Structure 1
Amino acid sequence: MTRFRIRASAKDLVDRLVQVGWWLHSLRWCIGAAIALAVGAGLGQWVDDKNWNFLADPAIEPWCQYTIAAAVVWVILSATKHAWHPDAVVSSKDEQMLLTQLALSARSIADAKGKPIHTRRQFVRGELAIHMVNALSRVYSKVPDVRTIIYEMSTEQDEMWPVQHAGERRPSGKFTLQDKRGEEAIKFVLTDKGAKLEEDVKKNTGGSWSGKGEGYRTYIAAPVVSSSGFHGMITIDAPNPGDLTQHDKRVIDLAANILSVGFSHIKK
């Protein structure tokens, strides 16, 4: 009961923060519109008079002060928008939800450690992988047509195939050393340099693996690697440049680290 009340209180707090965010968002736009009108009126007067002498009129002095004060408030609201904007509040809530899901995944891995190898393999490739892709899809549900895929690498390190995925579109297939794209994807895992954000597949000219771009213009990929070996990678694909950012790389990296622990437990 106490846990339920805490969760309910947290939800109420988030809802109130969202409401405050929308109020500040509306206030910022209203102030901006008022400033634009004041500046427009001043420019109109300047066009008529061809000088700025009207600013010395005591009758409009208070309005000049109001405009300056409004401009200061607008600048402050704009500079702090990342903290109070409703989207930022919701994003923070979603990230906390993902962290909770990842913590549950880590606990499930620990619980499965003492079980037979075939049971652990079924758990990692099934329950854990499904839980991971679904958790990421829920967090990024606001991104249209988002897709998450977990790939597993062969023991010979010559191919990777999809283990689980979430999203409307199915994976395009496995990666092999038989083509340049597959070779670059496998090389990406073997070099193990952390998560990679491809901001726009169509603008990639560096010759590195950049996806097929079939309906997806941007993606993040992270290698799933541990001291036990190279296990594969996890990717999240989105249709439009800007749907995924540098901030999201940390999220995918964290998911990859959790998966690496799980896959390390199914190695002989």
Structure 2
Amino acid sequence: MVGDNGDDSSRSIAEALHAGLDWCFNKLAWLPVTLVIVLNGLGGLFAILAGFAPVKDRPVNVAIAVAAVVLAGILSALIERERRHSESVRTREGATAQLAVTEAVLPVLALVGKMASEPSNRRAVPFEKTVSHVLQSKAVLFPGVKDVRMVVYRVEIDGPRKRLVVEDSAGRRRDKPEPFVAGDGGRGDAAFEWLSGGKPKFVPNTAAEYDKAWKGSGRGYRTYISVPILVKDEAFGMLTVDAPTPGDLDETDVPLVEVLAGLLAVGYRLRSR
């Protein structure tokens, strides 16, 4: 048991050091290197002072000088380790982004191109395939997120009434997405007002969402991204991604969702002609 506690303590210290260095690199990138310089300087200073200090004080000065140099060496090693770790993370992130573009975006782009080459009366099938490929891309874009859901909404106009209805969806079938109805005095009006603005909406945690009118059903999700599907001022719908746990989605997911929404907008425009 003593050995286990010692291992746990060592791991805790290592994790704390790693977390501290992560924070330094993210928030205070200058601090670790500066500390190394300061420690080396202190080591040199106390080494010099040891030569001038009384004999009885020399061991203390030498000890301080050695400790400073050793700490500088340890910190330098940790900085190098963190640098290599960061480079490894960036490499993995780059590979993931390349995979997302290759497997998620390029097939959709090819289908939109096929739609453009077809006469208007033969665009329905490639359009359906376009929507299907967009929804299937969730497996590539969010591989580690359990119960993530993507929904394609389209604008449906029936006389004076406007609604955002579900074109298709993928993931978490037990929570059926509901339409947004303009003129309801709540979430429908908020959705259509947002849609005309053309900007994506990312909510990290619905519990902290201050726009009460915008809130959806909230069933099965606590974080979401919504992106308008529009060409210039013409809104065709919206693409949403939602997930059960805050942190499942982040700001880095928004650009690719925007790309897919843009391709869907072109698809809707081609289908409507």
TM-score exceeds 0.5: yes
The answer to whether structure 1 residue 108 and structure 2 residue 92 are counterparts is no
Q: Aligned ranges for residues 141-156 of structure 1 at < 5 Å?
A: 141-155=143-157
Residues 225 and 57 of structure 1: is their aligned pair in 2 closer, same or farther, counting only changes over 3 Å? Answer: same
Letter in 1 for 2:155: M
Task: Say which of 221, 244, 252 aligns to 2:249.
Answer: 244
Q: Aligned ranges for residues 107-146 of structure 1 at < 5 Å?
A: 107-124=110-127, 126-146=128-148
Q: Distance in 1 between matches of 2:147 and 2:15?
A: 34
Does the 8 A contact of 1:137 with 1:148 survive in 2?
A: no
- Shift, 1:248, TM fit: 1.3
Q: More deviation in 60-69 or 163-172?
A: 60-69
* Structure 1 residue aligned with 2:224: 219
- SS of 1:154's partner is strand
- Shift, 1:105, TM fit: 1.4
Task: Say which of 159, 166, 174 aligns to 1:162.
Answer: 166
Residues 140 and 68 of structure 1: is their aligned pair in 2 closer, same or farther, counting only changes over 3 Å? Answer: same
- SS of 2:271's partner is coil
The answer to whether structure 1 residue 261 and structure 2 residue 263 are counterparts is no
Q: For 1:123-153, what per-residue CA distance to the aligned partner results, in whole angstroms no more than 9, with x for missing partners?
A: 22x2111101111332202012111111111
Q: Distance in 1 between matches of 2:147 and 2:141?
A: 13
TM-score normalized with structure 1 length = 0.70
- Shift, 1:226, TM fit: 0.7
Does the 8 A contact of 1:217 with 1:239 survive in 2?
A: yes
Q: For 1:4-48, what per-residue CA distance to the aligned partner results, in whole angstroms no more than 9, with x for missing partners?
A: xxxxxxxxxxxxxxxxxxxxxx9x948948x9xxxxxxxxxxxxx
Q: Distance in 2 between matches of 1:129 and 1:55?
A: 76
* Structure 2 residue aligned with 1:93: 95
Q: For 1:33-66, what per-residue CA distance to the aligned partner results, in whole angstroms no more than 9, with x for missing partners?
A: 8x9xxxxxxxxxxxxxxxxx89837468545423
* Structure 1 residue aligned with 2:178: 173
TM-score normalized with structure 2 length = 0.69
Q: Distance in 2 between matches of 1:184 and 1:266?
A: 27
Does the 8 A contact of 2:178 with 2:217 survive in 1?
A: no
Aligned structure 1 segments of 4 or more residues deviating by more than 6 angstroms: none
Q: Aligned ranges for residues 183-198 of structure 1 at < 5 Å?
A: 183-192=189-198, 194-198=199-203
- SS of 2:211's partner is coil
* Structure 2 residue aligned with 1:56: 60
Task: Say which of 207, 221, 240 aligns to 1:202.
Answer: 207
Identical amino acids, percent of aligned pairs: 21
Q: More deviation in 178-187 or 251-260?
A: 178-187
Residues 139 and 73 of structure 1: is their aligned pair in 2 closer, same or farther, counting only changes over 3 Å? Answer: same
Aligned length: 220
Q: Distance in 1 between matches of 2:157 and 2:206?
A: 29
Does the 8 A contact of 2:221 with 2:243 survive in 1?
A: yes
* Structure 2 residue aligned with 1:15: none
Structure 1: any 5+ residue segments left out of the alignment? 1-25, 36-52
Residues 80 and 57 of structure 1: is their aligned pair in 2 closer, same or farther, counting only changes over 3 Å? Answer: same
Q: Distance in 2 between matches of 1:71 and 1:208?
A: 51
Does the 8 A contact of 1:31 with 1:74 survive in 2?
A: no
